[in-house]
Amino acid sequence: MDGSRAHASAPTYTSVCPLSEVPRLGARVIERAIESGGNVAVFRTAEDQVFALADRCPHKGGPLSQGIVHGDRVACPLHNWNIRLDTGTAVEPDEGCAARYPARVRNGLIEVALDGGIQIALDGAIVVAPDGA
């Protein structure tokens, strides 16, 4: 809860595609110009959770959407950094964070709040609430 309270108002969700259009343990990309914040990767886990992160690894900008998704992490395809899908933070001992966008599934559709990514502080505790909470 605390993480989104830092966000002044509730996020505005945009419908992106049906859940079934993103492969399990895979990702798709929302293309955006750099000046609009750049590409966003939309991930789907084995348990059908969805997450959205800036499609840029904090290490050297690798496209996270092209990585291997495992558990709640994605391995960057360029140098194998592991990034947590729920926070965008790199798994220790690597350090860094990819901007995170709120994402959810409604009526079988993936929705992402694209109005400005949330950068989580390295020690920031973000609470993942269940759908509809």
Partner 1 sequence: MVGNGMAGMRTLEELLQLAPDAYDITVFGAEPHPNYNRILLSPVLSGEQTLEEIVLNDRDWYATNGIALHLGKEVVKIDRVQRRVIAADGTVERYDRLLLATGSTPVILPVPGKELPGVITYRDIADTDAMIDAAKRFRHAVVIGGGLLGLEAANGLRLRGMDVTVVHLMPWLMERQLDRTAANLLQASLEAKGLTFRLEAKTERLVAGESGRVAAVGLAGGEMLPADLVVMAVGIRPNVRLAQEAGLHCDRGIVVNDTLQSFDPRIYAIGECVSHRGSTYGLVAPLFEMAKVCANHLAQMGIGRYGGSQTSTKLKVTGVDLFSAGNFTGGTDTEEIVLSDPANGVYKKLVLKGDKLIGSVLYGDTVDGAWYFKLVREGRSIGAIRDRLMFGESNLGDTGHQGQMRAMQLPDDAEICGCNGICKGRIVAAIKDRGLFTLDEVRKHTKASSSCGSCTGLVEQILMATAGGDYSASPKQKPLCGCTDRTHQDVRDAIREHKLTSIPAAMAFLEWRTPNGCATCRPALNYYLISTWPKEAKDDPQSRFINERAHANIQKDGTFSVVPRMWGGETTSSELRRIADVVDKYAIPTVKVTGGQRIDLLGVRKQDLPAVWRDLGMPSGHAYAKALRTVKTCVGSEWCRFGTQDSTQMGKDLERALWRMYAPHKVKLAVSGCPRNCAESGIKDVGVIGVESGWEIYVAGNGGIKTEVAQFLAKVKTAAEVLEYAGAFLQLYREEGWYLERTVHFVSRVGLDYVKKKILDDASERRALWERLQFALDGEPDPWHEPERASVDARQFVPLTPVSTAAPDRAATAVSAA
Q: Residues in the site for partner 1, rule: CB under 8 A? A: 1, 3-5, 9-17, 21-26, 28-31, 42, 46, 49-51, 55, 60-63, 66-71, 73, 75, 77-80, 82, 86, 93, 100, 102-106, 111-112, 114, 118, 126-133
In the complex, the smallest distance separating the C-beta of residue 7 from partner 1, rounded to whole angstroms, is 9
In the complex, the smallest distance separating the C-beta of residue 110 from partner 1, rounded to whole angstroms, is 8
Nearest-angstrom CA–CA distance, 28 and 35: 20
Residue among 71 and 116 whose Cβ is closer to partner 1:
71
In the complex, the smallest distance separating the C-beta of residue 25 from partner 1, rounded to whole angstroms, is 4
In the complex, the smallest distance separating the C-beta of residue 6 from partner 1, rounded to whole angstroms, is 11
Handedness of CA 94, 95, 96, 101 (dihedral sign): positive
Nearest-angstrom CA–CA distance, 43 and 33: 20
Residue 97 carries which DSSP code? B
Handedness of CA 101, 104, 107, 109 (dihedral sign): positive
